[in-house]
């Protein structure tokens, strides 16, 4: 009896495998239940016979397929499998969006809302008043007795005129705390080390001519000592790359760069988010220096796929070059999230000169199928040939909560 059951299981398995090679059955398996597209796109959907269609869906050759073009919105394409089984393909159409691709090296100067505490020291009183009054590393000092302070110098100037008791307002994460300093003789010293800005060189991802806004870096800017986000505003300057320290396993490389025009601001930063820094920019700078002749479409997350792509970045001076990469994996993301894709550098020039992805490439745009699909965000410390990227769509819409459709699901990272 057991032998008969074993033989039956084998026969069923063979029959099922054989069925998958029969054209109608393979066709059924490949039929999509949902499709995502933009108003710029034209997509083909296979069919057993003419669909039940609206006017914006027209048949093409071969007769077993149709091409879909549509205005923004949602609709169903109906079919009958084998002539009697109902089948619907849900089509979601997003408005097409086009941006100017970046790749330029840019200098970032981001000012904190106030001095950030990065450490303690013993002051004239023999203690750190800040530590004794539970001011923590990473706290941002916003005011002293109602007087706003934005820089370390302003904090020092205000404290010189103060006598205890007085009150500090500090930001700790998203919460504000009021701390009273008392029982201090003479001019108070808080006994802290503070920092009021972050400065570095990164890469511009894109400029949106429809809004006049730009995106760069592809990840959050944090303080080097505390790891806390820098909350505030800043400026963007042209930059030049003066050298490359190649990366190797366990030691991420980096670009070495300088601001090439401190008197020539090209942008103002008003947002620092997990998807990069954003703000307004001089459109002529973006258009004049872009590696491509004009705006290109931004890919929807569902349009990004494993395969060849081009990464644009600067290795020498201000010259933007295109380098061949392969998108190895795309993550299924229904709402904004980082680590959207894994990319691998295959371009011999980039491998020879930089060893792969290095710090300072953050924000370098990735183009696939003529669309902007994403930006470099992190390098794998253990394998600098590979790294993470974020979908460009999330950088364009960081506050969008949910997509109707998304792509299929996808070393220790270091900010690139």
**CATH architecture under which domain 291-415 falls:** Beta Barrel (2.40)
CA angle 229, 235, 239 (to 5 degrees): 105
> What is the arithmetic mean of pLDDT over 275-289?
93
What confidence category does residue 406 fall into, taking pLDDT thresholds of 50, 70 and 90? very low
| Number of residues assigned to the chain | 416
Q: Does domain 122-190 have CATH number 2.30.42.10?
A: yes
* 350-359: b (≥16 Cβ within 10 Å) or e: beeebbbbbb
Report the DSSP pairing between strands 341-345 and 365-368: unpaired
Residue 57, pLDDT > 50, answer: no
Sign of the Cα torsion 127, 128, 132, 137 reads: negative
What is the CB-side half-sphere exposure of residue 378 using CA atoms within 13 A? 20
Q: Which whole number is the average pLDDT over 3-15?
A: 66
Domain 31-96 in this protein, CATH class: mainly beta
Summarised one tens digit per residue, pLDDT across range 165-201 is 889 999 998 899 999 888 776 677 888 899 988 899 9
How is residue 364 written in tokens? Answer: 């370098």
242 φ, ψ (degrees, to nearest 5):
-105, -15
47 or 117, greater pLDDT:
117
Position with higher pLDDT, 324 vs 31: 324
- Tokens in use for 104? 């330029």
pLDDT at residue 59 greater than cutoff 70: no
Q: Which residues contact 32 (CB under 8 A, 6 or more apart)?
A: 45, 89
pTM, to two decimals = 0.79
Ordered by start, the domain boundaries in the chain are 1-25, 31-96, 122-190, 197-287, 291-415
Q: Is the CB of residue 255 less than 8 Å from the CB of residue 244?
A: yes
Mean pLDDT of the chain: 81
- Predicted confidence (pLDDT) per residue in 134-159, tens digit: 899 999 999 999 999 999 999 999 98
How far is it, in rounded angstroms, from Cα 346 to Cα 329? 15
């Amino acid at each position: 009896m057991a032998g008969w059951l074993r033989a039956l299981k084998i026969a069923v398995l063979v029959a099922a495998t054989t069925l998958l090679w029969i054209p109608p059955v393979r066709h059924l398996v490949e039929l999509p239940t949902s499709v995502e597209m933009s108003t710029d796109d034209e997509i083909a959907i296979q069919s057993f016979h003419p669909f039940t269609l609206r006017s914006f869906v027209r048949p093409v050759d071969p007769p077993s397929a149709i091409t879909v073009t549509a205005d923004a919105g949602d609709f169903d394409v109906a079919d009958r499998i084998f002539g009697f089984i109902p089948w619907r393909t849900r089509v979601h159409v997003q408005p097409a969006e086009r941006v100017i691709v970046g790749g330029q090296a840019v200098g970032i100067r981001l000012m904190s809302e106030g001095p950030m505490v990065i450490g303690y020291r013993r002051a004239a009183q023999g203690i750190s008043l800040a530590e004794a009054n539970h001011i923590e590393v990473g706290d941002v000092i916003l005011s002293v007795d109602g007087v706003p302070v934005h820089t370390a110098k302003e904090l020092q100037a205000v404290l010189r005129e103060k006598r205890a008791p007085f009150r500090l307002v500090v930001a700790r994460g998203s919460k504000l705390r009021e701390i009273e300093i008392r029982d201090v003789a003479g001019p108070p010293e808080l006994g802290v080390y503070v920092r009021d800005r972050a400065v570095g060189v990164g890469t511009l991802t894109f400029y949106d001519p429809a809004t006049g806004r730009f995106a760069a870096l592809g990840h959050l800017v944090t303080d080097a000592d505390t790891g806390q986000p820098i909350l505030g505003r800043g400026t963007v300057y042209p930059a030049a790359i003066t050298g490359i320290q190649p990366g190797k396993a366990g030691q991420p490389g980096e670009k070495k760069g300088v601001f090439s025009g401190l008197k020539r601001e090209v942008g103002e930063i008003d947002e620092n988010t997990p998807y990069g820094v954003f703000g307004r920019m001089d459109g002529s700078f973006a258009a004049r220096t872009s590696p491509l002749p004009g705006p290109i479409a931004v890919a929807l997350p569902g349009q990004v796929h494993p395969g060849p792509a081009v990464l644009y970045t600067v290795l020498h001076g201000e010259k933007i070059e295109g380098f061949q990469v392969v998108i190895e994996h795309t993550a299924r993301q229904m709402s904004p999230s980082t680590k959207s894709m894994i990319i691998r550098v295959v371009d011999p020039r980039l491998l020879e000169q930089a060893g792969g992805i290095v710090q300072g490439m953050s924000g370098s745009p990735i183009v696939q199928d003529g669309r902007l699909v994403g930006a470099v965000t992190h390098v794998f410390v253990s394998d600098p040939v590979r790294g993470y990227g974020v979908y460009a769509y999330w950088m364009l819409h960081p506050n969008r909560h949910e997509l109707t459709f998304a792509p299929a699901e996808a070393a220790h990272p270091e900010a690139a």
